[in-house]
Structure 1
């Protein structure tokens, strides 16, 4: 399969992140509480996913498969919770552009380390000068956004 459809899907997904920041910040303003806003975000997400699972009827894992899974598989929900709470708090203070940029740089920094280590069963991609230059350019871009 060609990679361009996957790359396009990733680009579109990335384009949704600033919208998520803006919408969740609005919800935080309405609820006046980052935790309440985040809970609502997750309840809506759970409802949407419940409808999708009900409609598509995928094979669900057994209880023993879930128990046997690495403990790290359970951390995604906790990380997502921290992420949503943080964007509700940070976006009104930093703005959508700066918050999104800083989140992206944090993601790239961590992704480069995970790639370099081949962590959690992912393919290993060595850290090199080109990858570091890409990160440096992103950091320079964030600095430019902050200045202007």
Structure 2
């Protein structure tokens, strides 16, 4: 039961983090800077947990260095998730952002399971898992609805943002698998978490430095954009990131990637619907229609088939 609750909480944290970082990006007039603040806060929180649990910040880097190069990429996946989600949320809305994120997770999760990528357990493709994938695709169509009626002024290029959101979903599954392996090698889930945060911060700083040198300061902060009023809660995306990464490492070790993914999806779906319905943190409200409810229900059934069969 505790694992189930943790999985739902982790899933809910994803769209909340996206909403928080989107607001912070408007405050800072930058898409990249919120990722840095997110990773810094998450690093501080994880470091505090390590000090409480083991009395120091020791990480077995020598042991980890013997693993394949991809063991370090969980943080880079975090960069992709944070930055792409900030770009996509204003264009797609919370529910559609969650749906395409889920679609990316499902497709990449099936691939990782079938081929045992990142030294994960091999779970071959079955007919029921294929049916589940079809149901998830059908739910995407149902929940997405008519883009023209959803956001007519933003319909142009909308598929580009759907693709970016899909890639962010792929990054979610890859991060779970990679950090799960990292947690085993490091011997403690929070060691894997802080490594992921450090690599994510370094990746974000590398992108910022590259753009600063090649395109100038305007590529980092756009002074032409309106600057919204600041609130303390805009800076708390790192708490969500800590919950997502640390929680998924624990879930992967306890339940495996499949069940961790389904619980993430349930939480993401629930939070996405609530955010759209309530206009949480200033996100434009969107009605919860019967079509969306049916589509989300079908998506849950499909993801259950994929995860358990």
| TM-score in same-fold range (> 0.5) | yes
Unmatched 5+ residue regions in structure 2? Answer: 1-155, 213-219
CA distance in 2, matches of 1:86, 1:143: 20
CA distance in 1, matches of 2:221, 2:275: 30
- Alpha carbons 2:277, 2:288 under 8 Å: kept: yes
| Superposed counterparts of 1:2-41, under 5 Å | 2-41=157-196
- Alpha carbons 2:183, 2:249 under 8 Å: kept: yes
- Give the TM-score of the pair, scaled to structure 1: 0.87
Equivalent residue, structure 2, for 1:75: 236
The C-alpha deviation readout for 1:56-108, integer Å capped at 9, x for no partner, is: 121389xxx8xx62122122101100111111111132222221122022111
Equivalent residue, structure 2, for 1:88: 249
RMSD: 2.1
CA distance in 1, matches of 2:188, 2:222: 35
CA distance in 2, matches of 1:130, 1:11: 22
Residue 221 (structure 2) aligned to one of 37, 54, 59:
59
Residue 46 (structure 1) aligned to one of 182, 201, 208:
201
- Alpha carbons 1:98, 1:142 under 8 Å: kept: no
> Is the partner of 1:95 in helix, strand or coil?
helix
Change over 3 Å in CA distance of 1:146–1:55 after alignment to 2: closer
CA distance in 2, matches of 1:31, 1:134: 40
Deviation at 1:141, TM superposition (A): 2.5
- Alpha carbons 1:18, 1:97 under 8 Å: kept: no
Residue 99 (structure 1) aligned to one of 260, 264, 269:
260
The C-alpha deviation readout for 1:113-134, integer Å capped at 9, x for no partner, is: 0001111121111112111112
Deviation at 1:50, TM superposition (A): 1.0
CA distance in 2, matches of 1:95, 1:144: 15
CA distance in 2, matches of 1:44, 1:146: 29
Residue 282 (structure 2) aligned to one of 121, 126, 129:
121
- Give the TM-score of the pair, scaled to structure 2: 0.44
> Is the partner of 2:236 in helix, strand or coil?
helix
CA distance in 2, matches of 1:9, 1:147: 28
CA distance in 1, matches of 2:307, 2:174: 19
Residue 111 (structure 1) aligned to one of 257, 261, 272:
272
Equivalent residue, structure 2, for 1:132: 293
